[in-house]
Structure formats: C-alpha cells, structure tokens
Amino acid sequence: MAGTTDTVAAAKRAAGYQAAEMVEDGMVIGLGTGSSVFYTIESLSGRIRDGISVAGVPTSYQTAMRAREYGIPLTTLDDNPVLDLAIDGADQVDPQFRMIKGRGAALTREKCVAAAAFRFIVVVDEAKMVPRLTGIVPVETLPFATKTAMAQLRGLGCRPFIREAVKKDGPVITDNGNFILDCQFEEIADPEALEAAIAAIPGVIESGLFTRFQKNTTVIIGKEKKCSVLTSADVVP
C-alpha cells in the first residue's frame, strides 16, 4: 500500500541521510536530482560544516541551485571525469537492480554521472521497489527528430507522449534543451534489450532505463525509522 505523504517523506529523508553518511572526506561525488537526493544534500551540508571536504557534480540546474544554497562545492565531469560515488533517486527498482528514472527529466545527466562513478548509491522509499519494471519509460529526444523517434518508439510497443510543462505552455524542455517523451509500455519483458533498442533510435539522447549498473549499485530503502541496504550480493539472479 502506498504510504502517506508524511511517511514517504520520512522514508526518503532516512534513505537520503544514510547515503550522506557513505560520503568520505576528500570524495568527489555525483549529485542526482529529486526529493530523495535533496535530503542527502541537506545532510551533507552539515557534514561539510563539521569539516569534511567534498565536491559534487550536479545532474540538473535544480540540484546545482540546491547544492550552492547548502554550501556544497560544485565541480564538473570535465574537471573530475571519475567520481568516487554517485547518489541518486529512482522511480522503480526491480530485484535485479534495473531501474526506471527520469520523472524529473534529468535522466541523461544522471546516467552520465552514474556511469562515471565507482559506486552508484540509489535512495528510494519502499514503494519504488517493484517485482518488475512496468509502465512509463521517459526518453529524452532531440526536438528536431522527435516525431520520427516517436514513430520508431511505437514500433517497440509503446505509446509515446510528449511531456507537457506545468507552468509553461507546450513541452517540457530539459536542462539540455531537448524534449521528454513519456513512453507507456504495457509490459517490459527484457529491460536490457529495450534500453539498447531505444538507444539505437536516431534522435534519442537517452532513456530512463538504467539496466547496467547492478555490479556497483547499493540500494538504500528508506523506512520511517530505519533503512534496509541492498548491494550486488542481494541481486536476485
């Protein structure tokens, strides 16, 4: 059963705070996007005030603004192409640590940052843990080729919709200047194959399917009072 807003926020806070404890002095880390990572930023800010030295690569304008507000020094993948760890949220995580991300439209930078990190720390509340990935897969597309990409995505068995902005008329424009397609799938039988097939479509920048991070992923599942921590040893084959 889905939790109340307060219990979900408490679970995200517990997970986000626990992730902040995994950051060590001198680390360069990836900072994901969303409400769960916001709590990591908040907690990290206290640890920096207490004396640890950390730099973060933000995955969105929102995260960059929050990190600056909370006193977290920022850097870039140009200056730090290898990260000690990346901390991010997710929308769904299956028992093999395959994920769907991108509710916040930051999926492309999130995937680049996760791929640059030795460890990928995923912070979620319990409701995000699912037996199988299903439903909407966000896909970032070049506006120039969005219509043609939509036709090819339909061929993969989904119904793609251009994501509409809320406080702006027209489509959501990502931090990279592109569109987001929310691709509604009835079933995702083979997430790895689907991620590869979507990536092969001309005009697709990235999809929110993250299927290749099992080996270096730690999932922190927030609960109201404490968290469960799963690592690759817990992946169900």
Taking the least distance from each CB to ligand 5RP, the nearer of 89 and 160 is 89
Report the nearest approach of ligand 5RP to the CB of residue 26 (Å): 25
Contact 14, 225 (CB under 8 A): yes
Q: Which of 28, 45, 85, 91 binds ligand 5RP (CB under 6 A)?
A: 91
* Residue given tokens 């219509």 in the structure block: 147
Comparing C-alpha atoms, which of 16, 113, 125 is closest to residue 70?
16
What the block records as the tokens of 211 is: 């299927």
Interacting residues with ligand 5RP between 21 and 50 (CB under 6 A): 32-36
Phi-psi region of 71 (alpha: psi -120 to 50; beta: other; left: phi over 0): left
Q: Which of 13, 98, 103, 163 binds ligand 5RP (CB under 6 A)?
A: 103
Nearest CA to 106 out of 64, 164, 70, 54 is that of: 64
Maximum Cα interatomic distance, the chain, rounded to a whole number of Å: 54
- Please choose, out of 17-25, 95-103, 150-158, 222-230, the segment that lies near ligand 5RP by the rule CB under 6 A: 95-103
Q: Determine, following the binding rule CB under 6 A, whether residue 102 of this chain makes contact with ligand 5RP.
A: yes
Confirm or reject binding of residue 101 to ligand 5RP (CB under 6 A).
yes
Catalogue the active-site residues.
110
**Shortest CB 53 distance to ligand 5RP, Å:** 26
Q: Interacting stretch for ligand 5RP, rule CB under 6 A, among 87-95, 129-137, 149-157, 216-224?
A: 87-95
Please name which of 105, 183, 99, 103 lies closest in space to residue 137, comparing C-alpha atoms. Answer: 183
* One residue of 10, 44, 67, 107 binding ligand 5RP per CB under 6 A: 107
89 belongs to the binding site for ligand 5RP (CB under 6 A): yes
What's the min distance (Å) between Cβ of 21 and ligand 5RP?
Answer: 18
In the complex with ligand 5RP, the residue whose CB is nearer, 138 or 160, is 138
Q: By C-alpha distance, which of 152, 139, 236, 135 is closest to 202?
A: 152
Tell me, what DSSP letter sits at residue 172? -
176 lies in the site for ligand 5RP, by CB under 6 A = no
Q: Measured from the CB of residue 157, what is the shortest distance to ligand 5RP in angstroms?
A: 23
The whole-angstrom separation of Cα 118 and Cα 130 is 25
**Residue 29, phi then psi, degrees to nearest 5:** -125, 155
Enumerate binding residues for ligand 5RP (CB under 6 A). 32-36, 88-91, 101-107, 110
